[in-house]
Chains A and B, each alone.
Chain A
């Protein structure tokens, strides 16, 4: 209790955090002049908090006598309330609010997200479309996730888009299946087929019922495409028995299951018990599961997932060692064929630049959700926003930004044509530290790589799995065992020495290489090395009608004997998007083969000839070759001999899952 004789202002002064308080009254001259007097006379009546640990509104709401007396609640607390055991703020903080808001998956309303104006597909139609796409292609990948990845920007969606692009670049057809009814848990089992949406090589194909899709996959014979793979990225929204039937109908060489999250262990896919505390996936009969919103029905959920794994022999791919370790610890009852760590993106050292002086710049990247550490970042921001020498930023999609005083919002749009937009924005603002305060073991964290690529270091919790793993691997950041330790790092000034040393060493940028997820999986080499995937062999074939024509090498050219009466052919080859191999580049064109010369029945078809009518890039001045997009059309007008002379081929990334060069 404060000593008798002190005035009210003397009593409360040590507990009015001027920097914190003034963040609410930046434009108020009286508040700036004397924050203590301002709070005592005005601030508490407006419900403003004098410091991060005293909630004026809560204290008044919980204490009728104080409210009735009309006294400054902070003064009352310091004089009497503290000794009487009254609380200065609602205990439990933001995590308590999260736990209270946690909802059992079964109680959540499912979404419905059909593709706009999509056609209904029947089995014969699907077989015909897939078979047509497979002509001249080296393989077929059927992948499954929880939403239509082409229309949504998120970590998993980016990985799937890159996977599709990279498979396509190696002449592999990519069919993606997502549910139309979306939910953050499994679809219920039953006999009624469920509606699915299909995307073929990045373009919406249509919608169909699950039994018809199963029948269509069963109708794709070895004569259509011999090499097939099944890739399961997400279980959510799907029925396990349907997933097993899809795989069985496809008859793939391998089934891959990606650990992008822990949904194979629990519907609480990030293993946050009651959305608040990392649980580590204890046995479903445990007390922890009993008190968790994901506990009800978890035994049935796991039985269904285990049933899927029993029917389908999965090769399990984890994007980090940390994710695999968590999964192994919690996956009792699951059977699988193999496990492998395979990252979704790689970082390579790039240039080091001088860091700008000025306040320490701390950022949060991405959607402001608790699973990404927004709650702790917000707490840090609230406590530290007035501290001299610290400034705070939020980088995200425009719709994800949460503008507030003292927080600089930076809109950033990452899309297929600018995967590095976030890294570039981090670099442009010369961010020192990115707070990646996920309270659970993230399986990979693309955002962490974006931050490092942009030259920032990471502040993270040791529990953060793939985040912490990246920090250790690249030696780019600092890890803390508890949320309190994170706050102390910033509020006790340790951050200053850290950033001083970091800036003295220079801002080390890195390049971020997308890995194409499954497309770069090499069954024979456990370590991902993109250089080992490089080939200069274009794997060029000619499609004449429905026939694949292979070339015969001779005299510096490839000769293709075309069936009589062929009016037009396609030149199908590997392709590459140069910017994907060289992030510093800006060439986002699909580049196939460089054609130095081309002749039909011995007659030259020169560059600019209108028979080269689709899929040809414009000829560059001084370049004797014209480049295709990897799928170029050529009118042949009945010619039977096509001779192609290739210029030097670019570096392609080949998929090691597909046999042959």
Chain B
């Protein structure tokens, strides 16, 4: 039976968010294995069971990244997330799973992602664009499409690859770019990690770009997405199920975009409040 692994990366400050993600993945996909990269060194006095939401947690130093000190120096806690995830993804694909899904620690899954069956199952590589519908309001265009042109067309919070020729080639290439080349000054100035994914449809076959508003809902695209809760208790976006949402960190530009383009939708604020409550709960447990 094909196996699926979900990976994420976090530092200790983001452990509450990562736990929210892990629990949401477990609820939607009980059979998935959950793996994480810890971007900090493991402290000696870590409370027992603090990583219980994950099947494995490995420290980033264990990823065998070439010229690791330079690599880690070149990142901050946010920009290291995707590259570290990609490096783990590359290592796991084929060895431990037939499908590996990376999700950013700031996201949460609501309805199942439907990656293993249906139309998305046929793809080797899955990417979720930041925008799937053009904006026509100048500020939203500036914060949306124009920002994506600079920082990456595809979401840095999600990617998936299958254990096949194209998936393996993509994973190896992306790991190489994010592991070696990002730390290699001979290749010029370091580029934002997500930008590399722009090349994927050009370089690889069987790439599926998920143009479904239920995936990758976040500040960068909320201007074109409207959340609604149905009578059956399901949460939808533009009439389709909400698959996963990327929650902005406090004070981030994405949070301002949620505010600016959310149109006062109460359901959007309910989701954000829910995420904040979960973070607070886990943070309290962590302190206890």
B270 touches A279 (CB 8 A): no
Determine whether B273 belongs to the interface, using a CB cutoff of 8 Å to chain A.
yes
Q: How far is the CA of A288 from the CA of B269 in the complex (A)?
A: 13
A288 touches B229 (CB 8 A): yes
Q: How far is the CA of A102 from the CA of B262 in the complex (A)?
A: 20
Contacts of A291 in B (CB 8 A): 235, 270-271, 273-274
State the Cβ distance, A326 to closest chain B Cβ, in Å: 11
Q: How far is the CA of A93 from the CA of B277 in the complex (A)?
A: 20
- Number of A residues with CB within 8 Å of any CB on chain B: 29
* Binary contact readout B139-179 vs A (1 if CB under 8 angstroms, 0 otherwise): 11011000000000000000000000000000000000000
Determine whether B138 belongs to the interface, using a CB cutoff of 8 Å to chain A.
yes
Q: How far is the CA of A86 from the CA of B111 in the complex (A)?
A: 33
State the Cβ distance, B91 to closest chain A Cβ, in Å: 33
B266 touches A288 (CB 8 A): no
Contacts of A84 in B (CB 8 A): 139
Given A87-B259, A91-B259, A91-B262 in contact, is the A277-B229 Cβ separation under 8 Å? yes
Contacts of A279 in B (CB 8 A): 229, 233
Q: Which of B262, B265, B274 contacts A290 (CB under 8 A)?
A: B274
B267 touches A83 (CB 8 A): no
Determine whether A189 belongs to the interface, using a CB cutoff of 8 Å to chain B.
no
State the Cβ distance, A301 to closest chain B Cβ, in Å: 16
State the Cβ distance, A502 to closest chain B Cβ, in Å: 33
Q: How far is the CA of A96 from the CA of B269 in the complex (A)?
A: 7
Q: How far is the CA of A304 from the CA of B239 in the complex (A)?
A: 35
**A-B pair number, CB within 8 angstroms:** 80
Determine whether B76 belongs to the interface, using a CB cutoff of 8 Å to chain A.
no
Q: How far is the CA of A96 from the CA of B139 in the complex (A)?
A: 24
Q: How far is the CA of A234 from the CA of B265 in the complex (A)?
A: 34
CB closest chain-A residue, reference B265: A92
CB closest chain-A residue, reference B141: A85
A274 touches B143 (CB 8 A): no
Contacts of B269 in A (CB 8 A): 92, 96, 99-100
* Binary contact readout A258-293 vs B (1 if CB under 8 angstroms, 0 otherwise): 000000000000000110110110110011111111
* Binary contact readout A434-475 vs B (1 if CB under 8 angstroms, 0 otherwise): 000000000000000000000000000000000000000000
Q: How far is the CA of A93 from the CA of B264 in the complex (A)?
A: 7
Given A85-B140, A87-B260, A291-B274 in contact, is the A95-B266 Cβ separation under 8 Å? yes
Determine whether B134 belongs to the interface, using a CB cutoff of 8 Å to chain A.
no
A286 touches B234 (CB 8 A): yes
A85 touches B259 (CB 8 A): no
Q: How far is the CA of A96 from the CA of B267 in the complex (A)?
A: 9
Q: How far is the CA of A205 from the CA of B142 in the complex (A)?
A: 71
Contacts of B267 in A (CB 8 A): 277
CB closest chain-B residue, reference A89: B264
Q: Which of A83, A93, A286 contacts B233 (CB under 8 A)?
A: A286
Q: How far is the CA of A93 from the CA of B269 in the complex (A)?
A: 11
CB closest chain-A residue, reference B137: A85
Q: How far is the CA of A93 from the CA of B231 in the complex (A)?
A: 23
A287 touches B235 (CB 8 A): yes
Contacts of B274 in A (CB 8 A): 290-292
Contacts of A273 in B (CB 8 A): 229, 270
Q: Which of A100, A277, A286, A287 contacts B273 (CB under 8 A)?
A: A100
B233 touches A288 (CB 8 A): yes
Q: How far is the CA of A85 from the CA of B260 in the complex (A)?
A: 7
Q: How large is the interface on B (under 10, 10 to 19, 20 to 34, 35 or more residues)?
A: 20 to 34
B262 touches A92 (CB 8 A): yes
A96 touches B233 (CB 8 A): no
Contacts of A83 in B (CB 8 A): 138-139
Contacts of B111 in A (CB 8 A): 287
- The listed residue with most B CB atoms (<10 A of its CB), out of A96, A100, A277, A289, is A96
Q: How far is the CA of A274 from the CA of B27 in the complex (A)?
A: 21
Contacts of A288 in B (CB 8 A): 229-230, 233-235
* Binary contact readout A90-107 vs B (1 if CB under 8 angstroms, 0 otherwise): 011101100110100000
B139 touches A85 (CB 8 A): yes
CB closest chain-A residue, reference B257: A85
Determine whether B45 belongs to the interface, using a CB cutoff of 8 Å to chain A.
no
Determine whether B60 belongs to the interface, using a CB cutoff of 8 Å to chain A.
no
Determine whether B7 belongs to the interface, using a CB cutoff of 8 Å to chain A.
no
Determine whether B10 belongs to the interface, using a CB cutoff of 8 Å to chain A.
no
Determine whether B110 belongs to the interface, using a CB cutoff of 8 Å to chain A.
yes
A287 touches B270 (CB 8 A): no
Contacts of B264 in A (CB 8 A): 91-93, 96
Determine whether B211 belongs to the interface, using a CB cutoff of 8 Å to chain A.
no
Contacts of A274 in B (CB 8 A): 270, 273
Q: How far is the CA of A293 from the CA of B281 in the complex (A)?
A: 12
State the Cβ distance, B215 to closest chain A Cβ, in Å: 15
Q: How far is the CA of A93 from the CA of B232 in the complex (A)?
A: 26
Contacts of A96 in B (CB 8 A): 264, 266, 269
Q: Which of B138, B140, B232, B271 contacts A282 (CB under 8 A)?
A: B232
B266 touches A276 (CB 8 A): yes
10 CB contacts below 8 A, A to B, read: A85-B143, A91-B264, A92-B264, A100-B273, A276-B270, A287-B111, A288-B230, A288-B233, A291-B270, A291-B274
Given contact pairs A91-B262, A96-B264, enumerate 16 new A-B contacts (beta carbons under 8 Å).
A85-B138, A85-B139, A91-B263, A92-B269, A102-B273, A273-B229, A273-B270, A276-B266, A276-B270, A277-B229, A279-B229, A282-B233, A288-B229, A288-B233, A290-B110, A293-B277
Report which A residues bind B (CB closer than 8 A).
83-87, 91-93, 95-96, 99-100, 102, 273-274, 276-277, 279-280, 282-283, 286-293
| 6 pairs of A and B residues whose beta carbons are closest in the complex | A286-B233, A85-B139, A282-B233, A91-B264, A288-B233, A291-B274
